[in-house]
Amino acid sequence: MPALGDGRADGVWCTLGEPRTTAQIAQNGFAWLGLDAQHGAFDDATLLATMPALAAVARQVPVAVRVAEGSDAAIGRALDLGADIVIVPMIETVEQAEHAVRAAHYPPRGRRSWGPMAGLWGGAAPSAAAADPEVWVMLETPEGLRAAEQILAIPGVTAVFVGPFDLSIGLGIELDALLAADDGAVAADDLADGQHRPAALPAIVAAARRAGKHTGAFAGDLDRAERLRALGFDRVAVVTDGTLLAHGAAAVLGEAATGRTSY
């Protein structure tokens, strides 16, 4: 499977659920694609149409699918369809993270059922021994933050992926305050203290580094992407597919363009 490797990896977050558009984006130099099956238009049918479209352009770009929830069925289905990475939302406990890892891997490491679907569109199914999907857990709540050290220490959790919008709502602080913090000295389990909540992102990055795990986050625009990189996040979804179209229109039309270039 395509691998991200180390260092900065700028991705695009796809929400439109349009297979051909997604395949075009895959050819434009992004390090990874995220297909949103939780809050985007990617459902089972559109994922089933998108993965062959990506295969047809001989993709070398890792594809992540954010599943709607962390069940065996949702995680296994995304991986059967060909995802290289599964992003699991709203992880709050060690048990939930361990469940996600087991759902993503075949026995004896996990309990995933065999059934890759690449053969339906003429692709080659990987062997069970070769399958090694990445599991990115989303920490989006105060409960998840308090358990960050323990969650990120779990073998098989590859990275933490932060949705700063949900995190700011959960912590009861403004998004700008969350993104502005630069004090990494606060431990994740201290974040119940309202005084420390703006330091949530540096605390997550610090916890991930101690665990030797990668750090990802959704930006949705270029300014937020720079701020997240400055905080230490290395896998940043810099734009959505919709805002990418708006940026293209702005490059052609200049001030006459009317599309939104921010999520």
The CATH number for 156's domain is 3.20.20.60
How far is it, in rounded angstroms, from Cα 217 to Cα 194? 22
pLDDT for res 194: 44
- 3-state SS, residue 136: strand
pLDDT for res 161: 98
pLDDT for res 192: 46
Closest CA to 90 of 74, 66, 112, 111: 66
Q: What does residue 214 show for φ and ψ, rounded to 5 degrees?
A: -75, 165
pLDDT in tens, 150-206: 999 999 999 999 999 999 999 999 999 899 866 555 555 555 444 446 689 999 999
- 3-state SS, residue 232: coil
Q: Is residue 259 part of a domain?
A: no
Q: Is residue 49 part of a domain?
A: yes
Q: Is residue 2 part of a domain?
A: no
Q: Is residue 184 part of a domain?
A: yes
Q: Is residue 1 part of a domain?
A: no
Q: 98 is in which domain, residue-wise?
A: 9-253
How far is it, in rounded angstroms, from Cα 104 to Cα 61? 20
pLDDT for res 1: 60
pLDDT for res 58: 59
Please, is 184 exposed, middle or buried when counting C-beta atoms within 10 Å of its C-beta (0-12, 13-18, 19+)?
Answer: middle
Predicted TM-score (pTM) above 0.75: yes
Catalytic residue (choose from 39, 99, 105, 214): 39
Orientation angle between helical segments 72-80 and 94-104, nearest 10 degrees: 40
From first CA to last CA, the distance across the chain in angstroms is 30
**pLDDT beneath 50: ranges in the chain:** 192-196
pLDDT for res 130: 67
Q: Is residue 261 part of a domain?
A: no
Q: Is residue 260 part of a domain?
A: no
Active site residue 39: yes
- 3-state SS, residue 103: helix
Structural domains counted in the chain: 1
pLDDT for res 260: 81
Q: Is residue 135 part of a domain?
A: yes
Peptide bond into 108 cis (omega under 30): yes
pLDDT for res 59: 61
